Amino acid sequence: MRQTPIELNVSNQNTQSGILIPYLVESEEPRGAVIVCPGGAYEHLAPHEGEPIARWANSLGYSAFVLHYRLAQHPAPLEDAQRAVQLVRAKASEFNILPDKIAILGFSAGGHLAASAGTFFTSGDSTAKDPIERCSSRPDAMILCYPVISFGPYGHRGSMVNLLGGEPSEDLRERLSLENSVTKETPPCFIWHTADDEAVPVENSLLFARALREKKVPFALHIYPEGRHGLGLGEGLEASWTELCGKWLGSLGFINRE
């Protein structure tokens, strides 16, 4: 059930606030939740990668939250993603959610944002007056759908320009090429892509999977032989990602079976 939008109110924001739209499910026991980051090259938010994905998560028994992050340069979108994780965790009891089972899911540039949240996170400030800021912003799982990962040779220039500007420094471009930022603390990850994606090359997912492997972070990687970019829930063979991802989340204990 769609609920009233929640303003994120990032403490140091200098543009309009990001918004979180809840899609809550009723259950006797608390369950995991999925925060959804639509794609759109950091220029717009693709509607088919928002509410329909939340409804899919609901069908699995999970509450979902669609993140309308600020379409502004770094670090504004990341601040919104971090705040979204903190807010859902801080209000876990109110939302009937397991506070240690919060996944972040993203498509294309939204996949870059989800992966950023999983590689750049805070442990929370125990002295903060705001109880939301006391919570960790680390998601417990990442789901990356044909994600933008790198701003190197295989990068998506439109996403890079919109996020970092036309002439970003080499240091910033390297840092936000997320295959360079994975650590052993990065959460488990589910990734899918199509091999012939012409907009965001499959090498983006391969680079990230390799980085996860090197740091011994658990991951599932599914490469489908063909399919256009921006498929959302899918149209053909790649539509099986939803079933596979549902089973993967279940294996992580996102539904409390006690």
Digit-coded pLDDT (tens) for 90-147:
999 999 999 999 999 999 999 999 999 999 999 999 999 999 999 999 999 999 999 9
Taking the C-alpha atoms of residue 250 and residue 253, their distance in angstroms, rounded to an integer, is: 5
Q: How confident is the model over 64-93, as a mean pLDDT?
A: 97
Taking the C-alpha atoms of residue 65 and residue 247, their distance in angstroms, rounded to an integer, is: 20
- What is 6-251's CATH superfamily? Alpha/Beta hydrolase fold, catalytic domain (3.40.50.1820)
Residue 132, amino acid: I
Give the list of residues 6+ apart from residue 84 with CB closer than 8 angstroms, or none.
8, 18, 20, 35, 65, 67, 69, 104
Digit-coded pLDDT (tens) for 141-196:
999 999 999 999 999 999 999 999 999 999 999 999 999 999 999 999 999 999 99
**Whole-prediction pTM value?**
0.96
